[in-house]
Amino acid sequence: MKQYRTLFMCCVACVLFAECMGASSGGSDSRDPVLATLAEQVTLTQYLEFEAHSQSLNTRVSALCAEPTEARLVEARDAWWKARTPWKQSEVVQFGPVVEYPSRFGPKIDRWPVNASAVEDLVEGTSPLSQDDFDQMGVMTRGLPVIEYLLWAQGEDTVAELTANRRRCQVLAGVTADVMTNASRLVLVWRDDWIPEIVPPFSSMYGTYTSTGAVLNEWVNRMVFTVENIRLTKLGKPAGDQSNGKTLPGSLESRYSGRSLMDARDALDGVYVVWTGPTEAEQTGVVTLGSDAALVERIEALFADAKARLAQVPEPLEQAIEDEPEQVALAQESLRALQVALQQDLTAAIGVTPTFNDADGD
């Protein structure tokens, strides 16, 4: 009987919440503008920025391969580094075309850690490298991590290797062009197919979401999962949390470039943008849905602390997990506190149903 009474009270709470949220606009849901902001002003903007940076990266790599020099290598590396920022900030959007078939752009653009053997096999082979050919390839020879490997893994010998082995540069150019192509495809599919899917009146052909509540559940749970993934996968796994304390540098994201910590910070920034909206001053994101000022203030403080703790981990992360693991652990603990607040307190305050992280067990 107690179980049924609890279920009844939960149902009543859900009904009252829906009525309160939708009553003010004659049947429309007052949460709808937040969904539009996140889809159109946050995510589409990030994808457009990534597209622009991928085009710049392609230009720099083409110049490098036309005439391999140290200066042009630096320019190509810088372009790769900059392209990572909007891409990692959009990591919270683990739904839509980055994960759903047939597009599934995520692994094509950013499957990590890189499989060096697969890349070297492609370099040593004779297979053609047109866009059609890359479209038929598996993810181990595609994406930003492959570009990173080709730009950094040979260290001081990179220019010499690119000069001596033209096939190496041809692979680099082909992978870079493939990333640029998929960045443009991602923009089109998100704008034309998925914005209608996740913004009322939900007129997309996919029919994945049919209510404002369902889409809001997706956004808020993805905030939680991204914080958890930073804590467990980007920091914890390399630090040895899943291997009895034995560090696993091979599991680091962006290991060759030393961008591991920046990737983590960018991903956390992406979660924060979903919280605030595209401009922190105006606050048009998830934060506007809560009426508990104390909770909002606490979550803001937890975001600030997590960012500060990440900033205190010394670069590069590969060295920090060996020499200063306590700093990594402090960052993880701060992220855990933020995760709990989002997963328990925020979801309860705005009527979101917590779900399980689909990255669990990976």
Task: Give the model's pLDDT for residue 332.
Answer: 99
CATH topology of domain 212-350: A middle domain of Talin 1 (1.20.1420)
The reply to whether domains 32-198 and 212-350 share a CATH topology is: yes
Task: Give the model's pLDDT for residue 8.
Answer: 35
- Domain positions in the chain: 32-198, 212-350
Integer CA distances (angstroms), 257 to 53, 110, 230, 234, in order: 17, 14, 18, 15
pTM of the model: 0.91
CATH topology of domain 32-198: A middle domain of Talin 1 (1.20.1420)
Half-sphere exposure of 333 (CA within 13 A, CB side): 7
**What is the DSSP secondary-structure string of 281-319?**
TT--SGGGG---HHHHHHHHHHHHHHHHHHHHSPSPHHH
Closest of 141, 81, 154 to residue 111, by C-alpha: 141
4-47 pLDDT, tens digit each: 334 333 433 443 344 344 433 335 799 999 999 999 999 999 99
Distance from C-alpha of 88 to C-alpha of 77, rounded to nearest angstrom:
17
* Average pLDDT for 255-284: 97
Task: Give the model's pLDDT for residue 2.
Answer: 40
Rg (CA), the chain: 22
Confidence of residue 341 (pLDDT cuts 50, 70, 90): very high
Task: Give the model's pLDDT for residue 15.
Answer: 36
